Structure 1
Amino acid sequence: MLNVDSIPKAEIHLHLEGAAPPDLVAALAAKKGVDLKGLVQNGRYVWRGFSEFLAAYDAAAAVFTTPEDYEALTRSILEGLAAQNTLYAEFFVSPDHAEATGVSWAEYLGAVVRAIEATEKTHGITARLIPLCVRGYGPENAKRVAELVAKTAHPYVTGFGMAGDERMHHPRDFAPAFDLAREAGLKLTAHAGEFGGPESVAVAVEHLKLARVGHGVRASEDPALVRRLAEEGITLEVCPISNVVLEVYPNLAAHPFKKLRDAGVKVTISTDDPPFFGTTLTRDYREAAETFGLSAEDLRGITRTALEAAFCDEPTRARLIKRLDEAPLAS
């Protein structure tokens, strides 16, 4: 059997609050007297259906109300990833969410950065941050968030993106926000092609000038779009198990990961909101290998694709790729 544990990995589609370990959420809730109403049972999140997932996500995220909470959260996630032989991780972070909990963007960022720096020293894992605007909050708020992030000018804040309901607003409405981020030197991604069809990917790429697409798997339904993604070298941040759990596809065998990869599209493997979906990065790598017939070298190649697409500076990228190349070959 393929030893996936020993394969160096990279995670480039991961929501910070969505990766909150259930035990940490339960402990903070107990400390603060918050009733989670059965959200965490036997160390796992309990929910059914997409609406309950969104409610569960919000309930878990709501227990993080201080900079110290965010520092503990980030440290816990990175330590878990490092234990899976993960070289690099990118977190989606939300200034809007930080503000809603009463933590300023500066405090939120400072806490997360402290954890990133500490964990790199102790565990050797590197991480960077991609602030998101929320599509449902509208174009004007997206522009406000982009302006806030552009003013930050922090070396660990390397990208800008958008999440939320793909059916709300048109991507062209968010072009001013993405233009601001681009002019500030940030690299761009946006969620599309998960619940929206291939057209959601096409218009996001066209109007927002993306380097990567979050999910993007529904692009597989349009051969011309698949060719365009391959020709333009646009990377898809694919989250296979997330797509199955949220019923984008009935099972992994029906997932278009292999179809996209065989067509020359740059695809990676990530987890999205792993504890909510009962997965880990190692599990996603392993099940992708078993389902799509991937070898150890294929998986290392997928990690390389993620590092090549990472929103980090070139010296950091070169250092990470060197670590990948020097890692022992998995059996």
Structure 2
Amino acid sequence: MTMTVEGHLRALPKVELHCHVEGAARASTIAELARRNGVALPVEDPEELFEFEDLNQFLDVYGVICRSLVTVDDFRRITYEALEDAVAAGVRYREMFVSPAFVMGFGVPLATVWEGVAQGLADAHADLPVRCRMVLDVDKPSGPAAAMELVAFAAEQDRDVLVGIGADSVERGIDHAAFAPVFAAAADAGLHRTCHAGEDGPAANIRTAIEQLGVERVDHGFRLLDDPELTRRVVDEGIALTSCPLSNVLIARVVPDVGHHPFIEQRRQGVRATLNSDDPGMTRTDVTDDFLAVHRELGADLHELEQVVLDAVDASFAPDDEKVALRSELGAEFARLRDMGSPLVDAAPVGASATGERR
């Protein structure tokens, strides 16, 4: 029986590098935890909690989520459920952000956050066909001093569990260069580095992240093509972007729809842009929805989407031997799905240049 396009893309095994564990929480779980922890929700229906008009409103809702997370088991539960939902979207490997600064601001100790996340990972690895490592996100508005404390904590953790640091939240009004000592300390500790840049801020923030923070990949990078010289450098150095098209429509509102997103143009210029869900619980989507949207609204064909997955393997912070094994596993699964029959298999390639050569 021939698969549908949606069935094929949902079954397609994926690697995801940009997902926030707090933003992946289910609305029903947050409602339950809020009641248990004495947090009043601003709405009666939990599903209405995840409604917002812009990034600032999104961050307000994010605050409600974080106030609802109090105990070790709260963090264990949202971590485990985030990976359950990832598996349903075909994710085989994920690197997931945790942003403790938000909950620490409500009096929750960092040790509580991390113990719960680590337990959730261990339980998921025992029960589910997915591998996940964590990236600890520093909160840019909290400043470099607070970020340095988080890097010191990260440096002491098991590097196979907490693999790197990132930097999230808003870009406007932030001096990204001020975080250079923070990222230098992370590099000295052997931590991988990434940073949210060029989403609600200019391409200059991407340049700062690369040149002054020494990041190995860029989260979002939406504005990259605004700077052709920087784009060429990103291509030449193989710096990956962890793009989140649906999030850019639903949260940041930087484009009206995925059809206006630069993702495919970035890739066709040689940028190693990957597809990710960002905050799937809050947007009520998953990474498969991003694959479907890029196929339907930007014309990405199956070959391109499979290559996006393989590029995400290369851009991951996994050990080299694990990348080799994962690429082999994914390639075999791609072939198996193609043999099952799908409209995607016979579709004409859309990623061709004027000469007919694929980019």
Q: State the one-letter code of the partner of 2:187.
A: R
The residue type paired with residue 317 of structure 1 is: K
Deviation at 1:314, TM superposition (A): 2.2
The partner residue of 2:197 within 168, 192, 196 is 192
Indicate which of 240, 256, 259 corresponds to 2:262.
Answer: 256
Gaps of 5+ in 1: none
Out of 64, 67, 72, the position equivalent to 2:72 is 67
* Contact kept? 2:54, 2:253, Cα under 8 Å: no
Tell me what 2:309 maps to.
303
Which one is further off, 194-203 or 287-296?
Answer: 287-296
Structure 1 contact 150–180 (Cα < 8 Å) conserved: no
Verify the 8 A CA contact 2:42 2:49 in the aligned structure 1.
Answer: no
**Structure 1: distance between partners of 2:143 and 2:47:** 38
| Deviation of the 1:42 alpha carbon | 4.3
102-111 or 27-36: bigger deviation: 102-111
Using the alignment, how far apart are the partners of 1:184 and 1:260 within structure 2?
Answer: 32
Structure 1 partner of 2:119: 114
Q: How far off is 1:40 after superposition?
A: 4.5
Unpaired runs of 5+ residues, structure 2, are 343-359
**Greater displacement, 201-210 / 103-112:** 103-112
Does 1:174 pair with 2:179? yes
1:30 alignment partner in structure 2? 35
Cα RMSD (Å)? 1.7
1:124 equivalent among 129, 132, 143? 129
d(CA) in 2 for partners of 1:169, 1:291: 33
**Can you list the C-alpha shifts for 1:144-179, whole angstroms capped at 9, x where unaligned?**
221221122442111111112212332221111101
Aligned position for 1:325:
331
Please report how far the alpha carbon of residue 39 of structure 1 lies from its aligned counterpart in structure 2 after TM superposition.
7.1
* Counterpart position of 2:216: 211
Looking at structure 1, the residues matched to 225 and 133 of structure 2 have their Cα atoms a distance apart, in angstroms, of: 29
Point out the more displaced range, 315-324 or 189-198.
Answer: 315-324
Q: Bigger shift: 188-197 or 132-141?
A: 132-141
The one-letter amino acid paired with 1:129 is: M
**Partner amino acid for 2:303?**
E
Cα contact 1:18–1:276 (8 A) shared by 2: yes
1:99 counterpart residue number: 104
Q: Point out the structure with max Rg over C-alpha.
A: 2
Tell me which of 243, 268, 278 is aligned to 1:272. Answer: 278
- Matched-pair identity in %: 31
Summarize deviations over 1:25-84 as a string: whole Å, max 9, x none: 111122233220117444762233333211111101211100000001111110111112
Task: Please say if residues 12 and 89 of structure 1, whose CA atoms lie closer than 8 Å, have aligned partners that are also in contact.
Answer: yes
Q: Is the 8 A contact 2:49 2:61 kept in 1?
A: no
Partner SS, residue 290 of structure 2: helix
Do structure 1's residue 83 and structure 2's residue 88 form an aligned pair? Answer: yes
**How many angstroms apart in 2 are the aligned matches of 1:37 and 1:107?**
26
CA contact (8 A) 1:22 1:40 kept: no
- Per-residue CA deviations over 1:170-220 (Å, capped at 9, x if unaligned) read 222111110111111111100100011111111211101111001001011
The Cα offsets for residues 103-156 of structure 1, whole Å up to 9 and x where unpaired, read as 433332222122212212221100001001111111222222212211224421
Amino acid at match of 2:22: E
